[in-house]
Each structure stands twice: as structure tokens, then as C-alpha cells.
Structure 1
Amino acid sequence: MRILTRADITALVDVAALIAPVAAAMQRVSEGRAELPLRSVVPVGGGNRLGVMPGALGDPPVYGAKLLSLFPDNPKHGRSSHAGLMLIFDPETGLVRACMDASELTALRTAAASAVATQALARADAATLAIIGCGEQAHSHLAAMRAVRPLRRVVVWGRDPANAEAFARRHGIDTADTLAAAVAQADIVCTVTAARTPLLQPDMLHAGLHVNAVGASVPVMQEIATGCVPAVDLFTDYKPSLEAQAAEVIDARRQGLIGPDHRITEIGDVLRGAEPGRRDAAAITLYRSLGVAAQDLAAAQFVLARAEQAQRGIVVEMA
């Protein structure tokens, strides 16, 4: 078994390197070449959770599981809000092949998935990015968006103005005074927060906008107001996850704002040409990211291949 730390992962890959393997994984998901049980979430007290994400991908075969603690207040103490391990197994022997830091892997694969969606759905001339939130995912998403669009301007807005200012100084970008102001000037918006009450409202949406909604991975979190759902063309990574865990979609159906036949498209179907993406320049596209094990498996497999080539990490005998 090869053990890879956060430092190993960052030395081996960046977010741009993971865009192609994550895109390929999403196509495999939409082609039915994946086994993806829904994420299990266990409350562990104080608003914290343990998430378990198993899965298997075929062609080439890889299977494994991610165990991740979700502690939203950790950044206040200088710690990651997502901490845990990713395990992948040898499909021929069943032995553990690799164990790696799940926090860094999650940050990179999530941003890479948003880059895949942005490449497929955002206008080709999109040049202004608004990042809503200033935590770990904000850093990786800035790099991801720069990898797929020639951005001329980036603005950040955060619920803590001091954190937003610090993020802006670090990256040489601008801050916005309000969330509405940030969205109004953007072609692409990435919401990367741990919000429990909606931030993006229907009156903030405008023609031509593309949104990557990333931060709310369980139903008790919600970044996107329910009223936004009928106003956008809705895309996601995996429809069963969206329908079970996206609070705004669940609520929109409960309120009758959308019907059971409302169009929801997996990004993998767009990538493989089975479904259309952006309809026209005026369309408003929303990629609702839930995060699925297929992305973790594809990213981990890619990282492991590079680690084996570079002889990076610690190898221990398990059997």
C-alpha cells in the first residue's frame, strides 16, 4: 500500500491536471459504467458529520471509498473543514493499493469538476468570475476557472469581509461590497460556502450567466434559493444525488415550482454528446455539484499513477 500525504498530492498534481480524468469519469457515470451508492452522512455532534462515499468505476476498473469528517468551523481554528482518507483497492486482489489525504484530493477534484462544467456550459467569451466564499474551495476554484477561461477580472465576496480582503490580497483580485454586486458583474459565479440559508437569489440571476454551486453537499445546507431552480437550465454530476441531497431542488418540487419532468441533465451526458448543453448566449446555466465517488476514484487513480512513476510516498506491506 502506498501512503500519500497532502504534500505528496500537491507535488504530483494541480487542479488543471485533473480536469481530463474527472471529465472522463463523468462520462463513464452517465454511460452507466459506475456503481455509486449515495453518500452516507452520520451526525457526530456539534453540527459536524462523518461522510462515507464508496464507489466503483469500470474501464479501467477502480474501486474504493472516501471517509471524510465535515467540520464547518475548523477553518476558524486554522484547520481544514474536510479531513479524512481516500482508499483505493487493487481490482485483481482486493488488497488496499493506496491510502491518501482526502482533504486535498477533495479540494482538487471538486474544482476540476467545476472546470469541466464551466468548459462545457459557460459562454466562450466569459471573462469575469465572481467567487462567493473564501475558504479552501475558493482557492482551488480560482485556479480551475483560470484553466478553462481567459479571465480578465475576478471578484470575491465573503460573509466575513476580513477573510474576503485577505483572499483578494493573496490572489491579486478585487472584492465586492455585496453579494449582489459580485454576481451582477460576473459571467461565471462559483458559490463555495458552507451556507445553511440561501445566498444566491432569483433577482441576482442575469442573462448569459453560468453558476457552479459547490458548497452544499447535504440537504441541511443551501447556497441557492429555491426560486432560482425554475429560472435556470439545471445540470449536475449525478441525478440520483441531486434528487436526494440538493435542498433547493427538493424544496422546488415540494412547492410545485418544478414538476417531475423538469429537465435535469448530467454533465457526463453533455460531454458525450447525448444531451445539449448551453442553449444560447442568453441562457442561465447552473451546475449543481454534489460531489460523487467517481470523481474521487478518477482523481485518486491519476494521482497514484503519478506517485508510482515518481516513487513518491511511503510504501508499506499489508499482506
Structure 2
Amino acid sequence: MSQKLLYLSQDDVKNVGLTMAEIIEATEKGFVEMGNGNVEMPPKPGIHPGEGGDNFIHAMPAYIPAMNSAGVKWVSGYPGNQKKGLPYIMGLLILNDTETGVPLSVMDCSWITAMRTAAASAVSAKYLARKESSTIGILACGVQGHTNLEAMNVLFPLKKVMAFDPSKENRETLAAYASGELGLEVSIVEDPKQAVTGCDIVVTSGPILKKPHETIKAGWVDEGAFVSCVDFDSFFSRDALNQADKWTTDNLPQYKHYKDGMGYFQQCPDVYAELGELVTGKKAGRENDMERNFAANLGLAMEDMAVAPLIYKQAVEKKIGTWLPL
């Protein structure tokens, strides 16, 4: 019996039309399964071609029985790509049939990665931020700046965006998106402190660096604020990070792998909880309006595999993509 798989380009994946709200819902369901111990997901192995140690290519497998999803993502992140006119993040995702192991689809993972990463930030914020949060600071206004803003706007009554980026083009593009697409008030700021102090939610979304540039200093993050460190600990001084009342991550074994095996997250606070513990109620989220709460989510294969079946199902239904012989 001949087999075939569905190839989905980046445009195909986008054209499926999955919304951020749907992705947040699927991602939270995945974290419920993870919090209850029902996800098989080894810490991602990786290689680091080139000099400096900031380039990575990771293999990310996961199996979520309750979501009938299994597969692997092969994804790269090269900070220097931006100077070459290439995306920072690129890669492919393979979705397998859970009954037979047959590959069902190969799809571009750049859009999925951008969206599910932001969705995880939003899920963390749901449990760690103040519900009435209305002002958000975005530090680094590239892809993750856009998608994190989109995701936070789904869950919170956002009104104002403070946008900081060394690139004038990046901050102006984000400002146009925030005002034009989301209807939010935007202030482009030259001083990074203005995108932190006075903000209910802060998102740092630059490249992941082994040596943090420590732009954000102690005292900048207000009491009661929530911070999503999409770029790990790259933006923060150690003194600033250690003002966190709750320092959380999405997966403790993977966090320890990054910290002990790869040298990230040095001199950071002790991890209070995994995101799966927060969504299942095993650990308390925000407990008062004064807490400074942080999420240092790493990006999990589980998140990709929570979203990929939705992409595949809708692509088949809408006749999107190219069927290839296996």
C-alpha cells in the first residue's frame, strides 16, 4: 500500500487560518496534560554550529496521548541571520500517526514556533499577571515582539504599548501593527527603562544569548508586574532577576539541562513552579497584587505537537498543501 504525506509550506501553514485564541487554548490543554504527567517529552538535544555558542539547531520530539499527537521539530536559531536578511528561527516539523508511526505531514515550523511561543507566554501570564493589566512593554520588536503582543491582547484588556528596539524599522513596524491591527495606543521609546517601569506586563523578546547583556537593571520592574523572558535571561541584570517573587519555567528538567549543561540561567532565582503545575493548580499562581512574577519559558516540543494536529486537520479539510509520495 503506497503512503503519502502532506507538505505544508510557511504560507500554507499561515493560510490554514488558525487563530491565536485557538493556539492559546491548545497550548494550555497541553500544559494540563504535562502537569498531570501525561506527556512524553525528553529534553531537546542540540548542536551549536559556528563560533560564539549562540547558534543552535535542536531536535524536539513529543507525544501527547490525549491530543493524539506525536512528532518532532528540527529547528534552528541563528542570531546573525538578521544581518543576512534571513529569519532568526527556521525549521521543519514532522507529524506522525500515533497508531502506525507513519509520517502524516512535513510542515514549516517558523510560524508555529512564533505563535506557540507567544501562546505559552500568555498562558503563564493568565496565572501570574494581574487580570486588569493594560500597559505592556515590548523590548525587542521582531517576530516574538509581534506575536507576544497579539497573544497578550487576547487575554488582557490592553490599552497601551511601550515599544523599545535598537532597530528603528523594528519598533516602527511593531507600532504600526499595534495601532493599526490591534487598536492600541503606542509609544516608541529610546530608553529601555521606559518599556519596563510603569508597565503591567513586560516582554523581552530578543535573541537568546549565552552571555546576557543585562540591559534591565534592579528597580526597573514595578511591584505587581509580570515579565515574560522569551529570550531566557538575556535582557536582565542578576540583581533585577533576583527581585522576582516567583520565577517560573515551562519544564524543570529542560531548564536544568540549559543551566547545568549549557551555561544559561546562571545566578538566577530558584524555580518556584513549572507552568504545568500552575495550570493544574498544584502550585499557586499570583497570590497578591504586589508580586513581581517572571516566566522564563524555554519553548517545548509539547507546544508544537499541541498545535500541529490542528494545522494538519484544517489543511486537509481546506485542501491546502501538496501531497507527496512517501
Q: Report the TM-score when normalising by structure 1.
A: 0.90
1:223-279 CA-partner distances (Å, limit 9, x unpaired): 3333334321112111112222258974226xxxx5xxx452111211112110001
Structure 1 residues 263 and 74 mapped into 2: Cα distance closer, same or farther (>3 Å)? closer
The one of 5, 8, 12 aligned to 2:12: 8
1:40-83 CA-partner distances (Å, limit 9, x unpaired): 22122145321211222221332211111211122233321111
Alpha-carbon distance between aligned partners in 2 of 1:200 and 1:244, rounded to the nearest angstrom: 25
What residue number does 1:209 align with? Answer: 225
Alpha-carbon distance between aligned partners in 1 of 2:263 and 2:273, rounded to the nearest angstrom: 16
The one of 37, 45, 61 aligned to 1:40: 45
Contact conserved, 2:161 with 2:178, CA < 8 A, in 1? no
Amino acid at match of 1:293: A
Alpha-carbon distance between aligned partners in 2 of 1:89 and 1:209, rounded to the nearest angstrom: 40
What residue number does 2:86 align with? Answer: 79
What residue number does 2:214 align with? Answer: 198
1:231 aligns with 2:246: no
Shift of 1:142: 1.4
1:193-246 CA-partner distances (Å, limit 9, x unpaired): 015322333221211100011123xxxx72333333432111211111222225
Contact conserved, 1:229 with 1:249, CA < 8 A, in 2? no
What residue number does 1:175 align with? Answer: 188
Contact conserved, 2:164 with 2:190, CA < 8 A, in 1? yes
What residue number does 1:272 align with? Answer: 280
Alpha-carbon distance between aligned partners in 2 of 1:6 and 1:69, rounded to the nearest angstrom: 15
Deviates more, 1:231-240 or 1:193-202: 193-202
Alpha-carbon distance between aligned partners in 2 of 1:306 and 1:199, rounded to the nearest angstrom: 42
Shift of 1:305: 1.8
Aligned counterparts, 1:83-122, within 5 A: 83-122=90-129
- Work out the number of aligned pairs and report it: 307
Structure 1 residues 15 and 273 mapped into 2: Cα distance closer, same or farther (>3 Å)? same
1:17 aligns with 2:26: no
1:222 aligns with 2:237: no
Contact conserved, 1:243 with 1:249, CA < 8 A, in 2? no
Alpha-carbon distance between aligned partners in 2 of 1:68 and 1:214, rounded to the nearest angstrom: 16
Contact conserved, 1:190 with 1:212, CA < 8 A, in 2? yes
Contact conserved, 1:226 with 1:248, CA < 8 A, in 2? no
Structure 1 residues 105 and 65 mapped into 2: Cα distance closer, same or farther (>3 Å)? same
Alpha-carbon distance between aligned partners in 2 of 1:128 and 1:32, rounded to the nearest angstrom: 35
Amino acid at match of 2:252: K
Alpha-carbon distance between aligned partners in 2 of 1:122 and 1:84, rounded to the nearest angstrom: 32
SS of alignment partner, residue 235 of structure 2: coil
The one of 280, 297, 304 aligned to 2:305: 297
Structure 1 residues 76 and 167 mapped into 2: Cα distance closer, same or farther (>3 Å)? farther
Contact conserved, 2:247 with 2:295, CA < 8 A, in 1? yes
1:287 aligns with 2:295: yes
Amino acid at match of 2:111: E
1:185 aligns with 2:198: yes
CA RMSD of aligned residues (A): 2.0
Structure 1 residues 313 and 77 mapped into 2: Cα distance closer, same or farther (>3 Å)? same
Question: Percent identical across equivalent pairs?
Answer: 26
Contact conserved, 2:35 with 2:279, CA < 8 A, in 1? no
Amino acid at match of 1:16: A
Deviates more, 1:89-98 or 1:222-231: 222-231
Alpha-carbon distance between aligned partners in 2 of 1:250 and 1:146, rounded to the nearest angstrom: 28
Amino acid at match of 2:49: V
Alpha-carbon distance between aligned partners in 1 of 2:229 and 2:281, rounded to the nearest angstrom: 23
Q: Report the TM-score when normalising by structure 2.
A: 0.88
The one of 251, 268, 276 aligned to 2:266: 251
What residue number does 1:140 align with? Answer: 147
SS of alignment partner, residue 222 of structure 2: coil
Alpha-carbon distance between aligned partners in 1 of 2:265 and 2:80, rounded to the nearest angstrom: 26
Q: Structure 1: give runs of 5+ residues left out of the alignment.
A: none
Deviates more, 1:99-108 or 1:74-83: 74-83
Shift of 1:304: 1.3
Q: Structure 2: give runs of 5+ residues left out of the alignment.
A: 180-185
